Chains A and B, each alone.
Chain A
Amino acid sequence: MSEPPVVAPVTRQITQERVLAYADAARDPNPLHTDAEYAKTTPFGRPIAHGMLVLSLVSEAMAGAFGKRWAEGGKLSVRWRSPAMHPVTVTARASLRGTKDGIATYDVTCEDEHGTQLLSGTASTPYEA
């Protein structure tokens, strides 16, 4: 039986420009992400990156390890733990938790450059041919 692959981390800087591009591409109009004046009225006090933008790094990491198979049986389950205050450098990591019946399950996290955990959860996918 083959071993599941190591999932390489993905690191990316999330800037205001990227957040604006994501808001447009994902059709997410929430001003919490894009409007500094509005964000001042929220508990966050300033704009935060979209959680789904942060999560995209996890999906990219899994696709990097599993290719198209990620879209043919992959599973994600995450909870956001802290807001990503951009500009921020985010690193997504996946560490193998275990395997069962040809499914590999990884613990996944995203952290900022200060080590603050932005999200955590699990990702799993079939890994045998």
Chain B
Amino acid sequence: MVQPDFHAFRRGDTVPVFHFRVGAEEARAYLDATGDEQSALWTETVPPLAAGALLLAGLMDEVPLPAGAVHVGQDFEFVAPIAIDADIEARMNIAQQSFRAGSNVVVFGCELTSGGRLVMRGRTMITAPAPTAEVAQ
């Protein structure tokens, strides 16, 4: 299957829908890695930013990022708790795209649902050096 090209994205395009889940071991690994001292809160539900981090991992699986890509901005709205090991469906689109100062700036919008319920939404801003043809315009 041909994967989407980061530089070909334009506003309104969509990323293929993907699913992921955060199990107890993954949540534990995330909390240990970050050193989170509030880990006792997250025994039955997913640490909110763990879901965000694994959302981005899923995005990178779907859309290989070009060399030099940098994550420069992030918005999250945590709408409802996500149960450990629950299936999460991620729907992402291109909310904004522009070429600025030699960079391609892409803003991915996302909505996560679990059990048919909206649990999180957000926007992820990634910049990467623009292709030469776009810089020349």
Contacts and interface: CB of A to CB of B under 8 A. Distances in A.
A59 B46 CA distance: 13
Interface string B49-71: 11011101100100001001111
Contact of B74 (A67, A68, A74, A78): A78
Given A28-B56, A42-B68, A75-B76, A64 B38 contact: yes
29 contacts: A12-B35, A24-B29, A27-B53, A28-B57, A28-B60, A43-B68, A51-B72, A51-B74, A52-B56, A56-B36, A59-B48, A59-B49, A60-B36, A60-B38, A64-B38, A70-B48, A71-B45, A71-B47, A71-B80, A71-B82, A72-B79, A72-B81, A73-B79, A76-B76, A78-B75, A79-B73, A79-B125, A80-B71, A80-B73
Contact of A68 (B45, B69, B70, B71): B45
A29 interface: yes
Nearest to B36: A60
Nearest to A42: B68
A88 interface: no
Contact of A25 (B30, B46, B125): B30
Nearest to B52: A52
A60 B50 CA distance: 11
Interface residues of A, number: 38
Interface of A: 10, 12, 18, 21-22, 24-30, 32, 42-43, 51-53, 55-57, 59-60, 63-64, 67-68, 70-80
Contacts of A80: 71-73
B49 A56 contact: yes
A26 B22 CA distance: 10
B88 to A, nearest CB: 14
Query: Which of B38, B60, B76, B77: most chain A CB closer than 10 A?
Result: B38
B13 interface: no
B134 interface: no
A52 B36 CA distance: 13
